[in-house]
A and B are shown apart, each in its own frame.
Chain A
Amino acid sequence: MQTKSILAIDDEEIVRMCCSRILRTAGYDVDTSSGGPGALEMTEEKKYDVVLTDLKMPGMDGIALMVELKKRLPDARVIVVTGYSTIETATRAMTMGAYNYLEKPFSPESLLAVVRDALGEKV
């Protein structure tokens, strides 16, 4: 079975670190990006199965980024990672095509559960 690729986008390094460490430990191929424009560049070179993205980042609006990602990677599933206070934005993102959302702060179990669900794997 081919290794699934996951892209994690967050402006905070600690969140990127958490994602890559948890998902790599679980055996996934993980790339990270700190913002919208860089992430879009990366999608030119590589196809991702799941994209994890923060909604509140400097530089580019999370919703706009998600729409752009859906255009380039029609098969990829987008998971919105959000804080409690931006839960309304997450709901909106879902209606715009996001596959699921994950609340911060998250535990490794919940992250893995959401990612596996998105990949269609058995939880």
Chain B
Amino acid sequence: MVKFSNLSHSLAGKLIIAIGSLMVLGSLAFGTLFIHFEQRQLVENLVNYASSLADLVNRSIQYGMLSGRRDLMRQDLQMISEGKRVRFIRIYGPDGKLRFSSEAPGVAKAPGASKTQGAPYEPPAIRVKDINALATTHSIVGAGAQKTLLYITPIKNGPRCHAAACHFHGKGNNVLGVLEEGFYTKDVDRVVSDNKIGTALIGGLFILVISASLFIILYRLVSKPVALLEDGMKRVADCELDEPIDINTRDEMGLLARTFNSMMQDLKLYRESRDHWAHNLEEEIKRKTGEMMRTQESLINTEKLASLGRMSAGIAHELNSPLTGIITFAHLLRNRVPDSDAEAREDLQVVIDQAERCAKIIKGLLGFSRGAGFEMTQIGLNTLLESTISMISHQSRFYNIKFDLRLSPGLPPVFADPNQIQQVFLNMLMNASDAMDQKGFITITTRLLPAEDGRRMIETEFTDTGPGIAEADLLKIFEPFFTTKPVGQGTGLGLSVSYGIIKKYGGDILAKSVPGQGAIFLIRLPAREKGDEDADEKHSGD
């Protein structure tokens, strides 16, 4: 809203003051002119009246002169001088001497008549050089109540006069005398002053009405939209971009508001996209950080597996020497046993055989740590899963567990060592059985994942109805020796060995869990595609 205290500073206020002043000046000029012309008109009317009176006087004089009835003439003049607004009538002779005056004693106006009040007018003797050249004139003299219009006109010598029998005035005398009439201008002054007041009143009213209308118009057309625009700009400055400016006119203000609104819209869009990007960046960074953490974790796991391999190799190596001792001394002992004691010889042979078996196991272990001794073939995961389930279903720990196999048909094969993949599956099943206290449901699902980077993956999902895995443990379960099982029951190697195997085949193994709702393990292995065979053959060749 416009604050009225600020009016004189506002555009509307300034305009109103400017226009108001101009109107005052204009009305003053107009009023003055109007009064001036009005006054002139009134004076002219008075002069006309004077001239018609003069006519009357002239005629009366002529009649009086020609008829010789001067008394009658005086009477007439006296009567005329009593007319409205007439102050006096004076007649001068050609010599300039006063011959007649309505103000002469005895012919004074009736008492009470305002016209006669005040100091009597002292008529000056009219000095006329050439009476024949005298023209009719009028002028205003005196001030206040004595303000008088003087009308002076020559009394002409008409043909009726110089042809008269008296022959007093010859034909050569054009002018017989001078007639002077005095009129009160009070009426004129009153009308003028009345008009002045009226004009001022009308002018003032006019200015007031125009100013008020102007104010209303300006307020609606300028002040209000400007205030709305100002509000809008303040909002933008405060970063509130939701509310557009509500001006719907078709004028410049509306245009301004529309332009401003579209700018605000652009700003909003820009800010939204900026926020969006900022948010996305955050997400992206989170994702990358997660990826990095996972990579780091898998690196740690790989490192742990490698050190585990080194350790088992070391242990195996240490066993070589004692085994050599056992084998050697068993031999020596056997050789000393007489041939007759066949039983003793056979017993010693058992020691030798078992020690040599140990040696083979150790060799196998060392081979495992080197990644040698595998048989890579094409495996159908569905078949492998089915045979694994039938193998364990006779074990007591799976008696009370129901299996739900949801195998999707027509899966491409996987290229790996079936024994190792089966070991991974067994680890999953044992863990699930342990988690569920040997009773519950295990759902196994296989599916082909859509190709990513040109490679398709086969996913095997193990879902159980156990207690699930705490979020904090989810990151640790793949670490070697991490177990939540009592000593003697779990070594904590199952998942780490599985992880190593799956990673070796270019796959991935993930754990998900909603605590209380069971655990989900996802095992992804790359599908063997048609073109892979040549590459594999080459690989197995070296």
> Could you list which residues of chain A lie within 8 angstroms of chain B, going by C-beta atoms?
10, 12, 14-15, 17-18, 21-22, 25, 83-86, 104-108
Residues 328-353 of B contacting A (Cβ, < 8 Å): 328-329, 331-332, 335, 352
Asked if B366 and A108 sit within 8 Å, CB to CB, the answer is: no
How far, in angstroms, from A21 to B335 measured CA to CA in the complex? 12
Task: Let me know if B317 is at the binding interface, CB within 8 A.
Answer: yes
Q: When chains A and B are docked, how far (Å) is the Cα of A106 from the Cα of B322?
A: 11
* Chain A to chain B contacts (Cβ below 8 Å), 24 pairs: A10-B321, A14-B321, A15-B321, A15-B324, A18-B324, A18-B325, A18-B329, A21-B332, A22-B332, A83-B320, A84-B316, A84-B320, A85-B369, A104-B321, A105-B320, A105-B321, A105-B323, A105-B356, A105-B359, A106-B324, A106-B327, A107-B352, A108-B327, A108-B328
Cα A84 to Cα B358 with chains together (Å): 14
A107 touching B313 by the CB < 8 A rule?
no
Chain B neighbourhood of A17, CB < 8 A: 325, 328
Cross-interface CB contact of B355 among A22, A104, A105, cutoff 8 Å: A105
- Distance of A44 Cα from B325 Cα, bound (Å): 30
**Residues on the A chain within 8 Å of B335, using CB:** 25
**Which residues of B have CB within 8 Å of A83?**
317, 320
The 4 closest A-B pairs by CB, nearest first: A18-B328, A14-B325, A105-B324, A105-B323
Q: Counting CB contacts under 8 A, is B363 at the interface?
A: yes
Once the chains bind, are B359 and A85 in contact (CB under 8 Å)? no
Q: A14 CA to B322 CA in the complex, in Å?
A: 7
List, in ascending order, chain A residues with CB within 8 A of B313's CB: 85
**In the complex, A57→B328 CA distance in Å?**
21
Does B356 lie within 8 Å of A107, measured CB to CB? Answer: yes
Q: In the bound complex, how far is the Cα of B333 from the Cα of A25, in angstroms?
A: 12
Which of B321, B335, B363 is the most central at the interface, judged by chain A CB atoms within 10 Å of its CB?
Answer: B321
Chain A residues with Cβ below 8 Å from B366 are: 84-85
Shortest distance from the beta carbon of A63 to any chain B beta carbon, whole Å: 18
In angstroms, Cα B366 to Cα A17, docked, is 26
Question: Who on chain A is nearest to B331 by CB?
Answer: A108
Chain B nearest CB, measured from A62 CB (Å): 14
Q: Which residue from chain A places its CB closest to the CB of B367 in the assembled complex? A: A84
In whole angstroms, how far apart are the Cα atoms of A85 and B319 in the complex? Answer: 12
| Bound Cα distance from A40 to B475, whole angstroms | 55
B189–chain A nearest beta-carbon distance, Å: 142
Q: State the CA gap A26–B322 with chains docked (Å).
A: 22
- Whole-angstrom distance between the alpha carbons of A22 and B332 in the complex? 8
Give A20 Cβ to nearest chain B Cβ, in Å: 10
Tell whether A85 pairs with B317 under 8 Å between CB atoms, given A18-B325, A105-B355, A106-B324: yes
**What is the CA–CA distance of A40 and B39 in the complex, to the nearest angstrom?**
155
Most buried by B among A14, A17, A21, A25: A14
**Besides the contacts A22-B332, A84-B317, A85-B313, what 16 more A-B pairs have beta carbons closer than 8 Å?**
A15-B324, A17-B328, A18-B325, A18-B329, A22-B331, A25-B335, A83-B320, A84-B363, A85-B366, A86-B317, A104-B321, A105-B320, A105-B327, A106-B324, A107-B352, A108-B327
A17's nearest neighbour on chain B, judged by CB, is: B325
Chain B residues closer than 8 Å to A84, beta-carbon distance: 316-317, 320, 362-363, 366
Complex CA distance for A86 and B318, rounded to whole angstroms: 12
B-side contacts of A18, CB under 8 Å: 324-325, 328-329
- Give Cα A21 to B333, complex, Å: 11
Enumerate chain B residues within 8 angstroms of A86, measured Cβ to Cβ: 317
Query: What chain B residues lie within 8 Å of A14 (beta carbons)?
Result: 321-322, 324-325
Q: Once the chains bind, are B328 and A21 in contact (CB under 8 Å)?
A: yes
Residue of A nearest to B356 (CB): A107
CB distance from A31 to the nearest CB of B (A): 18
Chain A residues near B322: list those with CB within 8 A: 14
Task: State in angstroms the CA–CA spacing of A84 and B368 once bound together.
Answer: 12
* Neighbouring A residues of B324 by C-beta, 8 Å: 14-15, 18, 104-106
- Find chain A residues with CB under 8 A from B323 CB: 104-105
Q: Which residue of B lies closest to A111 (CB)?
A: B328
Min distance, Cβ A73 to any Cβ of chain B, angstroms? 25
Q: Which residues from A are CB-within-8-Å of B327?
A: 105-108
CA distance A10 to B320 in the complex (A): 13
Bound complex: CA A12 to CA B321 (Å): 7
Given contacts A17-B325, A21-B332, contact A85 B356 (CB under 8 A): no
Task: Name which residue of chain B comes closest to A10, CB basis.
Answer: B321
The reply to whether B332 and A25 form a contact with Cβ atoms under 8 Å apart is: yes
A107 touches B321 (CB 8 A): no
Q: Which residues of A contact B316 (CB under 8 A)?
A: 84-85
Task: Tell me whether A15 and B332 are in contact in the complex, defined as CB-CB below 8 angstroms, given that A84-B363, A105-B359 are known contacts.
Answer: no
For A105, the chain B residues whose CB sits under 8 A away are 320-321, 323-324, 327, 355-356, 359
Chain B residues lying within 8 Å of A21, measured Cβ to Cβ, are 328-329, 332
Chain A nearest CB: distance from B217 CB in Å? 104
Chain B nearest CB from A102 CB (Å) reads: 10
Please report the C-alpha to C-alpha distance between residue A104 and residue B318 in the assembled complex, in whole angstroms.
10
A-chain residues with CB within 8 Å of residue B369 when the two chains form the complex: 85
Q: Enumerate chain A residues within 8 angstroms of B352, measured Cβ to Cβ.
A: 107
Instruction: A116 to B28: give the CA distance in the assembly, Å.
Output: 149
Verify B320–A104 contact, CB threshold 8 A.
yes
Nearest B residue to A104 by beta-carbon distance? B320
| Nearest CB in chain B to that of A107: its residue | B327
In the assembled complex, the Cα of A89 lies from the Cα of B314 at a distance in Å of 16
